[in-house]
Every structure is written in structure tokens, then in C-alpha cells.
Structure 1
Amino acid sequence: MAGTEHRLPSGLMKMRRICGYCAAIAVTPYLLIKIAWTFGLFLPTEQMGDASWRAINAATVVVAAVGILLAMAFSRPWGERLPAWLVALPVWVGTGLLVPMLLLAPVLGPAAMTRDKEAGAADFWGYEQIFVMVSLVGVGICLPLALAGYTKLRWPEALDGPIDYGELPGHTRQLQITLGRIVVAGCILLGIIKVFWAVGGTLGIDPAMLDDRDLWWYLLTLNTGAWALAGAWGLLVLITRRGSQRFLPPMAAAWISSGMLFSYNLFSVIRPDFQSTPEYPLARVLTTEAGIVLGVIMGIIILLVLHDRRRALIR
């Protein structure tokens, strides 16, 4: 798609480039810290020297490196020639991780520092945590803005236009509705459970671990519940084409929610301290696995919606 830059207003093109570069710069401190932790350097606690934690940090090094590559792809013409799946998959996971974290950062950052300090973290961890939060906030702001410019050029139908559009032979509307209703019901149920726990409900919580519900746990639990409900709304609007005149709001809600449910719950499963959360083991496993499955199926439905929409709008 070389030579297509003239389709974008110069201001939007400039924003795309600047935000892409800023996102790459912002994530660099996070990348360096995670590399150091992977090799056992500057560890805030002895526990993070365990092989399991170092493996987690190595995985986040890969995630950060992919984020830098994406930022550069969004800001340079060569990024427009990448295969769609190679862009869409990491963007789906990345927006699911970053956008919710961006909203939580003002409270979650200090809460994490307080919790780690009480757990005996080294003094320099406070400075590392500041760099981590600055990186996450910076990339959480800049990368979506760069993505918006990139998407506006490459897949304008994903951002613009009314919610309704015509049908072409071979559409998947009925499949979208059938799967969508199941996913919407699952997201509502998961959202209600998570919000119930976040406001202090104890059904499904181990009585012996009630005191382990700190601010960090409450915020992440509420975050999952809120995004599950937002995703249910967004997906319901996409499949019924009622509830919003514009396509972007429900699309954004469903996209971020599906990525968040998949990535956050998958990360929870592979964390070494997964078993230490206060939910009963069965409740913990069921809600976590449900989040992963719902996120994946919601993502598939979104792809079906976008496929049919693209066919209908470019005919």
C-alpha cells in the first residue's frame, strides 16, 4: 500500500507518526527492566528470582518487543504491507492489556507499590515501579492513537460509518446472532459475579482468605466485571445493529473487552501466584477459564462482523 499516505489528512498522518515513535520510546524502560529481571538483576524481591517468575518476565520482554515493532509499523509505510493477521492479533491482545490498565494506573500503581513495600520489596523497587507505570501509561495513550491513524488508512470500515449496512449473499449474520447471544449471556453472568465480588460479596470466596482481598484484588476484579459487561453491550449492538447509530462505540467496547478477557485471564492462569487468590479453587478456575473462552469467541464474532461489513461497504 505504498503511496497511500495522501488519503489521510496531513494532521492525522503526523499524529500517527509522532504517536508511534512516542509509544516505542515509552515502552523502552519497561523492556529494559523486564530484561534485567529475566537475568536476575535488580530484583525487588527474592521470590521474583524463581524460575517461574523469570519465565513470566521473559514472556513480557517478548510482549514489549512486539509493542515496539507495532509502534514502528503504525508510523511507517512498510507497516501497511504486513499481513492483516500479523497486525490484528497482537493489536487485539495489546489493546486488551493496555486500555484497561491505562484507566486503572492512577490508583493501581500506588496500590501496587504499597502492597509490594508491605511484602518487603527492596527500596529501589519504588523507582522501578514508577518507570513501569510511566511506560504503560505512555504506550497506553500513544499506541492506540497511532493505531487509529493506521486503521483509518488500511481498514476505514472498522472505524467509520453507521451501525447498519446491507447484506450480501454468503453473509454470516445468523451465525453471529447465535454465537453472540451465548457470549453476551456468558459475559453478563461473568460481569455480575466479578462486580458482586468487587463490592464485597463473599459467595464463592474462601472464608479463610477474606483478609487477602486487598485494593489490588478489588480493582482487578471490578475491572474484569466492568469490561465483561461493556463487551456484552458492544457485542449485542454489533449483532443486532440496534442501540447505537455509529459503528465505532460498540466495536471499540467489544474489541477491548474481548482482548481484555482473553489476555488478563490467560496471564492470571500462568502467574505463579494464581493459586493464592481468595476465591475458592473451583470458582477461580471457572471464572478465569470462562473469561478466556468468552474473549476468544467474542473475537471470532468481531472478525465475522468486520468481514461482512467490509464486503458490503466496498461492493
Structure 2
Amino acid sequence: MGYGTAIAVSPYLLIKIAWTFGLFMPTDQMGDPSWRIANAVTMVLAAACILLAMSFCRPWGERLPSWLVALPVWVGTGLLVPMLLIAPILGPAAINRDMEAGTADFWVYEQIFVMVSLVGVGICLPIALVGYAKARWPEALGGRIDCGNLPGDTRKLQLTLTRFVAGGCILLAIIKIFWAAGGTLGIEPSKMDDRDIWWRLLSLSTGVWAFAGAWGLLVLTSRRGSRRFLPPMAAVWISSGMLFSYNLFNRLSNSRPDAQPAPEYPLALVLTTEAGTVLGVMMGMILLLVLHDRRRAMRGESV
């Protein structure tokens, strides 16, 4: 699946290279320096994704530092797995919105290539990661959820942080799902019509994954609610990466001069965006504590 990931991301990489150098751009606005920089950054990320995918299926990949593998995969799976679930609706909606905005006809074909690449990577990358993690970090995937405790573990800290973070995730989820369902509290009256299907789906996706992350954290730290370790771990991994990467992406997108104005009041937008980013990072930190203690317990180590 590492090779499949590299093949899937290749069309996306080629399109980003073309846009970075000013070729086949669908609108004149994409010639703006801010767009060129954004395309150059995503071009580098696509190239890094290919190298990372190759590391999953080559011997030298297991010698890479853990953070160099885990950090980009955390961000990548957080971006792509949630998008994979809503792509069948979100893809056509994005194309229709761009066509209504007056983009060039060939942009439709570029969008299709981009969506195919993202869906392909969203499928192949997690599968490749599972095979890689089984060989390098077996404690992260298999076994019972309760491996016992050792002196010097961080479980009390995990429980304390989890109560705070899970509460924040549930609150954020309620707000996002409320907005996706048509709630108007926190929405500017003059921008009610800006709540298109793109905005509603992303709000709903954020809310659902925030709930999933809260559930996963509570199960991992209490060790109740699931016999197996993998389901809650996967929920926390994807949810934390999603909350961090999507909110970071939204901040970058809203900073562009041609960005579509958000329908939320500025204060509501800032609070939910910043809260999502902080919650995603804290969820990731708690997961690292859980995995550290789990590895020690499985190996029977002591302080």
C-alpha cells in the first residue's frame, strides 16, 4: 500500500507543480503571491507524502526517527480520513461552487484529479501505516485495553487531562452539529445564505469526530467501554489529527484576500477554531502518554 499511496498522490503533486509555476490556473486570482506560496507548500507536502509512503515499504523506513514518521502521518490521516467519508458529496459540491464563481472549464477536470488523489491517499495511507506500525510499534495496535499499571505511570495525569479535554470536545461537537443542523446562534444574520452544503458538511464532520475523540479518550484512560485497544486508539488518533489540521487549514484559508467570508460571528469563529486546534494537540499529547505507559507495561519495565 505504500506504493499505492505514492501512485495516488502523483496527480495531486503534478497539479500543484503546475499551479506553483503559473500553469493551467483556473482563475486569475490564483496568480496572487499568497496562492503561489500555498500551492508551493502543498507541493512540498505531496512530495513528502510520497517519500513517507515509500518508507513504509522499504527497510530504511524503520530506521527513521519516530517523530519524523508519526507527525506527518498524524496530520495526514487527520485531514484525509474524515474527508474520505464525505468526499462523494463534498466533491461535486466543491465543483459546482467553483463553476458558479466563474472558474475555467478545465478546472473541473483538475478538481476530479485532486479528489481522486485525496481519496486514494485517504484509503492507502492508513492501510500502509497499519502494516508499518505492526512491525515497529505493535503495542499501538493489538491487545487488550488494560495492560496493568507500573510504578511511575502517568495514569492520574491522563485521567485529569481527559476530563478537561473530553468536556471541551463534547462542547465543540454540540456547537458544530447545532450549526450543521441549521442553528443560528453565533451566525451573522446577513450571512445566513452563505451556509452552503460545503460549510454544513465540514461542521458536521468536525462535530462527529470531536464526539468520537471524546469517547476514545474516556475509554483509553478509564479502560472501560471496549475490550480491545485499537478502536478507541484509532478514534483518538484520527480525531486529534482532524481537529488540529482542519482548524489550522481554516486559519490559513481565511487569511487569503479572496477567501469566502465565514458565516459565523468573528468571535465565535475564533473561539471554535482555536479551541479545535488546542483540543487536537492535547488529545495527541494524552495519546502519547497512554502509548508510553502501555509500552512499559507490555514490556514489564520499571522506573
Range into which the TM-score falls when normalised by the shorter chain: over 0.9
- Paired position in structure 2 for 1:189: 171
Residue 118 of structure 1 is aligned with which of 100, 109, 118? 100
- Structure 1, residues 223-278: CA drift from partner, whole Å, max 9, x if none? 11111111010111111111111000000000000000000000100112567110
Q: How far 1:63 moved relative to its partner?
A: 1.5
- Paired position in structure 1 for 2:247: 265
- Paired position in structure 1 for 2:288: 303
Q: How far 1:140 moved relative to its partner?
A: 0.8
- Paired with 2:299 and 2:179, the residues of 1 have a C-alpha distance of 46
- Paired position in structure 2 for 1:104: 86
Q: Secondary structure at the match of 1:43?
A: coil
Unaligned runs of 5+ in 1: 1-18
Counterparts of residues 90-101 of structure 1 (less than 5 Å): 90-101=72-83
Mapped contact 1:262–1:291 kept (Cα < 8 A): yes
- Paired position in structure 2 for 1:7: none
Normalising by structure 2, report the TM-score: 0.96
- Paired with 2:292 and 2:185, the residues of 1 have a C-alpha distance of 42
- Paired with 1:216 and 1:281, the residues of 2 have a C-alpha distance of 19
- Paired position in structure 2 for 1:144: 126
Q: How far 1:88 moved relative to its partner?
A: 0.7
- Paired position in structure 2 for 1:285: 270
Q: Secondary structure at the match of 1:208?
A: helix
Q: How far 1:148 moved relative to its partner?
A: 0.6
Query: Is residue 47 of structure 1 aligned with residue 29 of structure 2?
Result: yes
- Paired with 1:303 and 1:84, the residues of 2 have a C-alpha distance of 12
Mapped contact 1:183–1:297 kept (Cα < 8 A): yes
Normalising by structure 1, report the TM-score: 0.93
- Paired with 2:120 and 2:75, the residues of 1 have a C-alpha distance of 17
Unaligned runs of 5+ in 2: none
Query: Is residue 215 of structure 1 aligned with residue 197 of structure 2?
Result: yes
Q: How far 1:165 moved relative to its partner?
A: 1.3
Identity, % of aligned positions: 76
- Paired with 2:96 and 2:260, the residues of 1 have a C-alpha distance of 22
Q: How far 1:51 moved relative to its partner?
A: 1.5
Q: How far 1:279 moved relative to its partner?
A: 0.3
Aligned CA RMSD, in angstroms, stands at 1.0
Mapped contact 1:268–1:274 kept (Cα < 8 A): no
Aligned pairs, number: 297
